[in-house]
Amino acid sequence: GGAGAAGTPVIWSQKLHECLSKKAARVMTKGEIIFNTTAVDETNKSFVSTLSAPTLLSAEYSSEGPCISKAAAQHSAAMVAMQAEFPEAYAQLAGSYAPAAAAKGQKRKGGPDGAPVASAGPPEGKSMLSHFVQMLLGRPVAKEDMVYESVQLEGGAGYQATVALPTYVGGKSYQGPVAPTKKDAEMAAAKLACAQLRNVVVPLEEEHKAKKAKKNAEAIVKMKKMHEDKKAAAATAS
């Protein structure tokens, strides 16, 4: 997902690296951004990846779903992380095609009675929902955690999609508004689900951030103590 200004794909892991370097005002070292990539099944044909950077990111981020390669899974996880941690940079990179898309949108036919068909909006719906579901389930998202179903309306009036979350609280589903394409319809359903789940997810994210901050603070204290112990040992030795 995501394309650059000249139509070249955005290398999200690289962009995340750049943004984190800027945020920390230093060059990242190799082990600071950790990808944990695993095969979804025995065939080793699809992979999911979870990305973490304990001292730099406020949460762990998972790929949007199973991907065809380890690299693709890492790319997807980095994109989700970019979206959550650096929304402005993400919007700039992901939205580099926006003017062309808008121009195309004007030519689209309206609904059955000539009314304009609802636009699904920016492409972050699915990524955001994936992150939300991860927070709700407290684990990386698997393929069966989010199930999209789309139907084409009669007379080519557009598509309507439903996203189901079978593994969350007995299974909930959200039906989005009518959209011009299947992809837009799925995105619209994801956005609707996000809007309805936001109130549940925000406290979880706060709790997660607080735990992470506590963990980081403890790690810093530990590092300082080690450093001081080393200094003391060196002073004693001399």
DSSP line for 165-193: ETTSTT-EEEEPPPBSSHHHHHHHHHHHH
Residue 3 carries which DSSP code? B
* Domains along the chain with CATH numbers: 1-97 (3.30.160.20), 119-208 (3.30.160.20)
Check residue 219 and give its pLDDT. Answer: 76
Classify burial at 50, counting beta carbons within 10 Å of its beta carbon; exposed 0-12, middle 13-18, buried 19 or more.
Answer: buried
Averaged pLDDT for residues 39-67: 81
Averaged pLDDT for residues 16-27: 88
Q: What percent of the chain has pLDDT above 70?
A: 82
Averaged pLDDT for residues 14-19: 89
Question: What is the per-residue pLDDT across 119-163, written as a single tens digit (0 to 9) for each?
Answer: 333 345 888 888 888 888 888 888 888 899 999 988 878 999 999
Lowest mean pLDDT among 80-94, 105-119, 175-189: 105-119
Buried (b) or exposed (e) across 171-183, using 16+ Cβ within 10 A? Answer: eeebbbbbbbebe
Check residue 4 and give its pLDDT. Answer: 45
Q: How many CB atoms lie within 10 A of CB 218?
A: 10
Is residue 197 within 8 Å of residue 132, measured between CB atoms?
yes
Check residue 161 and give its pLDDT. Answer: 92
Check residue 130 and give its pLDDT. Answer: 87
- pTM of the predicted model over 0.85: no
Averaged pLDDT for residues 107-123: 41
Please, which pLDDT band fits residue 83 given cuts at 50, 70 and 90?
A: confident
DSSP 3-state percent helix, strand, coil across the chain (nearest 5): 55, 15, 30
Averaged pLDDT for residues 35-47: 80
**Rounded distance, CA 158 to CA 217, Å?**
51
- Partners of 160 in the β-ladder: 151
Check residue 236 and give its pLDDT. Answer: 86
Lowest mean pLDDT among 69-78, 180-189, 207-216: 207-216
